[in-house]
Amino acid sequence: MSFHTLSIVIPTINFAMNRSNIEYLLTSAKSIQAEVVLVLDSCDLNDFEDAKRLADFTDDWLKVVQTDAQNPGGARNIGLQKCTSPWITFWDSDDRAYPDELMKIVLAAEKES
């Protein structure tokens, strides 16, 4: 059972190019205490090892997984399987995040059952 209210799946096919924005997304997710599943699609070993190093300092709220789906839907589905929270959202690796607004929506939905 998860202690997180929300899981965020972030698929990326080009980790190196999107790394700085992924770090921003991770910071945004941490600010709302979300679980994150970062899915590296068709990445090389160096990128995977780099992403795993990001997870080393996250107290288990960040999971890094690897796939060769070679498409966003397949990568999202792999991430979805790793989520443990009752609420799940998907952020693309080049997205901007609005974590506070997202949590307002989740909390309002929970309040309304």
Q: What is the pTM for the complete model shown?
A: 0.93
pLDDT tens profile 43-63: 999 999 999 998 887 778 999
Question: What confidence tens digit (pLDDT) does each residue in 71-104 have?
Answer: 999 999 999 999 999 999 999 999 999 999 999 9
Instruction: Give the rounded percent of residues in the chain with a pLDDT score beyond 90.
Output: 87
Q: Residue 3 pLDDT > 90, yes or no?
A: no
User: Whole-number mean pLDDT of the chain?
Assistant: 93
103: region left, alpha or beta (phi > 0 left; psi from -120 to 50 alpha) = alpha
* pLDDT score of 2 more than 80: no
Rounded (10°) angle between helices 45-55 and 15-31: 20
The answer to whether 22 touches 12, Cβ cutoff 8 Å, is yes
Query: What pLDDT score was predicted for residue 1?
Result: 44
